[in-house]
Amino acid sequence: MNQNAFCIIAEPAWRKLELLLTEIEDGKKPDVAELPRLFRQVSKDLAVARSRGFDTALVERLNGLALRAHQVVYATQRGSLSRLAGFWTRTFPRAVRAEWRAMTVALVLFYGGGLVFGLAVIIDPDLAYRFMSPYEVDQMQQMYDPSREMITRPGGAESDLMMFGFYIYNNVGIAFRTFASGLVFGLGSFFSVAFNGLVLGVVAAHLINVGAANVFFPFVIGHGAPELTAIVISGAAGFRLGWALVAPGRLRRAEALKVAARAVLPLVYGAGGMLVAAAYLEGFWSASAAPKLLKYVVGAALWIATAGYLLFAGRYRGAQRAA
Amino acid sequence: MRVDTLHHVETPEGVELVLRCAGPIPRAIAWGVDLVIRGLGVGILAAGLQWLGRSSMGLVLLVLFFAEWLYPVIFEVFWRGRTPGKRALGLAVVRDDGLPVDWGSSVLRNLLRTADFLPGMFGAALISMMATKSFKRLGDLAAGTIVIYSASEVAPAWRVERGKGLLPHAPVVALTLDEQRAVIAFAARAAALGQSRADELALVAAQTLDGRTHSNGTPSERVIAVASWLRESGHTAGDVGHQPSTEEAS
C-alpha cells in the first residue's frame, strides 16, 4: 500500500482521535471509550509510516497525534485533598527523618554558628559592628527599643498585613534560594544556613548587650519555631542535592541528582508551608500587645510541638501499612 | 552518531515518539516574555492598590512572591506545560518520558532556576544546555523534564500543486529508503529555504536523480519532480486512483 491509499483508509480514525484529544485538552469530558483503540491505531500507523519512509509531514503529524494521546492516556493524577492531608500527617515528617544526616549537619551549622558568634559578641560587644553596618545596628535598636516594652512598627493593623506580605516574600524566598543553591555542590545552602545562623546569633547577642532582650525574645519566640526550623530544613534539602553530585554512589551524577531531588521535594514543600505559618504568626501574633508571659508560653509550646511533630508524626500508621 | 535535537521516547505501545527539543534562544525569549507579563501584572496591581495605603504593600509583596515563584508552576501544571511566554513561542515543558509535567517536576525545575541563574544571567543554564543532549538546564536535569516544541505545532503538509513545476519523474538510480526520505524531505522544505538556497542544495543531486543533461527546470524543481514521483508511486508501486491531498490545491 502506498502513502495515499494508507492515508485514505486511516484518515477517519485520525480525525476522530484529533477531535477527541482537542476536547479533552480543552477540559471537556467526552466519551473516551474509543480512545484506547484509536491510540493503538495511531501508534501502529506511526510505526508503519516511519518504516515505509512516508512523508516527513505525515510522520510528524502522526507523531504529534500519538504524543498527545500518550500524554492523555498516561497522565498522572493531580493531588487530592486527602493526599494533601497525608502529606502533613505522614509524608513530610517522614521525609525529614529520612534525611536525618543532612538535618543534623544543617542544625549544627545553623545553631552552632549562631551560638559561637553570639557568645563572641557577648564577650566583645564591638564585634557586632564587624557583622553589621552602624546603620543596621541603629535600625535594629530602634525596632526593639527597650523603653517602649514592645516592638515598634508604624501603622498598626495595616502594617501587620504589610509585614505578613513581606515575610512571605522574603522568608519563603530565602528558603527556596537556600534549597536551590545547594545544587552548587551544597555550597550555596552551606553559606545561606551559616549566614542566617550567624545573623541570628549576633543580633540576639547585641540586643542582650544593649538591654533589649525582654523586647526581642518575646517577639521572636512565637514564630521562631516554624521559621528557623524551616530554614534548617530547606538547607538540609539543599545539602542533599549537593551531596548527590559530590558522592553519587552507584548512579550516574545526573541520575543521582534526579533521585535526590525527588527525595527532598517534601522537605521543600514542608519548609514553604511552615514559613507561611511563621509569616502569619510573625505578622499578627508576635508583634501583638499580648502579655509577655503568654508569648513565652505559646512560643515554648510551639517549639515543643514543632520538634515533637517532626520526630514522631507518621510513625505508627506507616508500620501498620507496611505490615 | 547522528547529531540532532530530537529526544526519543518509547511508549508501552511499542512505538517511538520523537520530541523536538527547544534550544536556549527561544527559551530565553519565552522567559523574557513571561518576565514582561509578570512585571506588568505586578506593576498594574501595585498602581491600582495605591488607595489601600500600607496594607496594599503587603498584598503587592504577596503578588510579587506569587509572580516570582508560583507563576511558572501554576501555568505549567494547569496549562499543559506552557507558561504564556512558552505558548507564544510554541514551546511546552514535558517530562523525559513525554508525559505532562506534574507538580513535583514543575516545582523542582522552577525553584532550581535560581541555581541556573548563577553566576549571573543564566550562565550555568547555558553551559548545562550546551553539555546535555536535549538542552537541559540544571533544573531540567534534577526534575527530569525537557522543553519541546509543542505537539500541536505540526509542519504544514507538502503538496504537489498540479500544473506547477515539472511533471513527476522517476529517479534513474536506485535509492535507499533513507535517500528517498531525504529527497521527499527536501521537497517539503524547499519553499521555506528560498529559491537560490534551494537550487544551491539541489544542484549536485538534480542530475544524478533524473539523469537529464538538459532540463528547462531549475535544480530544485527537478529534485521536487523526483520527489513527486516517489510519493505518488509509493514504494511498493501500488496503484492509486486519486489523491485527496492534492485536490484542494488552488
Q: Are B210 and B224 in contact (CB under 8 A)?
A: no
**8 Å CB contact between B73 and B103:** yes
**CA B136 – CA B132 distance, rounded (Å):** 6
pLDDT band at A232 (very low <50, low <70, confident <90, very high): very high
- Residue in A closest to B114 by C-alpha: A180
pLDDT of res. B231: 75
Q: What pLDDT, on the 0 to 100 scale, is given for residue B181?
A: 79
The answer to whether residue B10 neighbours chain A at the CB level (below 8 Å) is no
> What are the residues facing B94 on neighbouring strands?
B100, B146
CA–CA dist A308, A302 (Å, integer): 10
Residues 6+ apart with CB under 8 A from A66: A39, A42, A43, A46, B11, B15, B17
Residue of A nearest to B94 (CA): A71
A68 to chain B: closest CA residue: B151
Closest CA to B86 of B42, B155, B26, B20: B26
What is the Cα gyration radius of chain B? Answer: 25
> Which 8-state DSSP code applies to residue A181?
G
For A142, A219, A226, the CA distances from A281, given in Å and listed in that order, are: 21, 10, 9
pLDDT for A172 beyond 50: yes
CB hemisphere CA count around B26 (13 angstroms): 17
Omega before A291 cis (within 30°)?
no
Pair type for strands B145-149 and B91-95: antiparallel
Q: Would you say residue A144 has pLDDT above 90?
A: no
Stronger pLDDT, A52 or B88, i.e. the higher one: B88
Cell of B245: 491531498
- pLDDT one-digit tens code per residue, A260-286: 999 999 999 999 999 999 999 998 888
Say if residues A152 and B83 touch (Cβ distance below 8 Å). Answer: no
Shortest Cα–Cα distance, B211 to chain A (Å): 23
pLDDT value at residue A150: 65
Is some CB atom of chain B closer than 8 A to the CB atom of A305? Answer: no
- In contact, B99 and A204? CB cutoff 8 Å: no
Tell which B residues from 174 to 213 touch A, by Cβ distance under 8 Å: 177-178, 180-181, 184-185, 188
Helix residue ranges per DSSP H, A247-291: 253-284
User: Kind and range of the H or E element at B175?
Assistant: none
Predicted TM-score of the model (pTM): 0.84
Residue to mutate among A65, A70, A77, A179, with most B CBs inside 10 A, is: A70
- Let me know: does A28 contact A19? Beta carbons within 8 Å: no
Cell numbers found for residue A34: 474509543
pLDDT at position A242 over 80 = yes
- Whether B112 has its CB under 8 Å from any CB of chain A: the answer is yes
d(CA A301, CA A319): 28
Q: Quick one: which of B98, B162, B107 has its CA closest to A78?
A: B107
> What is the average pLDDT across A42-57?
86
How far is it, in rounded angstroms, from Cα A249 to Cα A240? Answer: 13
Mean pLDDT of chain A, nearest integer:
89
pLDDT at A77: 72
Mean pLDDT for the stretch of residues A208-230: 91
C-alpha cell at A205: 547577642
Q: Name the amino acid, one letter, at B5.
A: T
pLDDT score of A319: 52
Residue, of B157 and A143, whose pLDDT is higher: A143
Strands B16-20, B6-10: parallel, antiparallel or unpaired by DSSP? antiparallel
**Could you tell me the three cell numbers for B19?**
520530541
State the pLDDT at residue A157: 63
Q: Is residue A1 within 8 Å of B236, Cβ to Cβ? A: yes
Does the beta-carbon distance from B184 to A46 stay under 8 Å? no
Q: DSSP class of residue B53?
A: T
Q: Which has the closest alpha carbon to A150: A318, A291, A36?
A: A291
CB–CB contact B15 A46 (8 Å): yes
What's phi and psi for B53, nearest 5 deg? 75, -145
**pLDDT given for residue A317 in this prediction:** 56
Question: Cell for B116?
Answer: 541556573
> With bands split at pLDDT 50, 70 and 90, how would you rate the model's confidence at A213?
confident
CA distance B165 to B162: 8
CA distance A50 to B181: 10
Residue type, A143: M
A79–B64 C-beta distance less than 8 A: no
Return the pLDDT at A23: 92
**Residue to substitute from A1, A2, A191, interface B, most B β-carbons within 10 A:** A2
Amino acid at A123: I
- Cβ-in-10-Å burial (0-12, 13-18, 19+) of A27 comes to exposed
In this complex, which of A58, A159, A254 lies closest to B54 when CB atoms are compared? Answer: A159
Residue A320 has what pLDDT? 53
Residue A232 identity (one-letter amino acid) = V
Number of H helices, E strands in chain B: 12, 4
Rounded (10°) CA dihedral A114, A115, A121, A127: -40
Best CA proximity match to B65, nearest among B111, B16, B6: B111
Q: How far are the Cα atoms of A193, A233, B123, B128 from residue A93, in angstroms, in the given order?
A: 20, 11, 36, 33
> How far off is chain B from A121, nearest CA to CA, in Å?
33
* Chain A contact probe: residue of B65, B94, B158 with most A CBs at under 10 A: B65
Could you say which residues from 192 to 231 on chain A have a Cβ atom under 8 Å away from some Cβ of chain B?
A: none
Q: Tens-of-pLDDT digits for all 250 residues of chain B?
A: 456 788 999 988 888 898 999 999 999 999 999 999 999 999 998 888 877 776 778 888 999 999 999 999 999 998 889 999 999 999 999 999 989 999 999 999 999 999 999 888 899 999 999 999 899 999 999 999 999 998 555 555 555 555 567 788 888 888 887 788 788 888 878 878 888 998 998 988 888 888 887 777 888 888 988 888 887 765 443 333 333 333 333 3
C-alpha cell, B161 = 500543486
Is residue A273 exposed (0-12), middle (13-18) or buried (19+ Cβ within 10 Å)? Answer: middle
- The alpha carbon dihedral of A148, A152, A155, A161 has a sign of negative
pLDDT digits (tens, 9 = 90+) for A78-95: 667 788 889 999 999 999
Nearest-neighbour CA in chain B from A268: distance (Å): 9
The conformational region for residue B194 under phi > 0 = left, psi -120 to 50 = alpha, else beta, is left
CA distances from A216 to A150, A203, A226, A239, A296 (A): 8, 9, 17, 31, 11
Q: How confident is the model at residue A153 (pLDDT cuts 50, 70, 90)?
A: low
The answer to whether the CB atoms of A3 and B244 lie below 8 A apart is: no
Average pLDDT of the segment spanning A103-126: 95
pLDDT value at residue B31 = 96
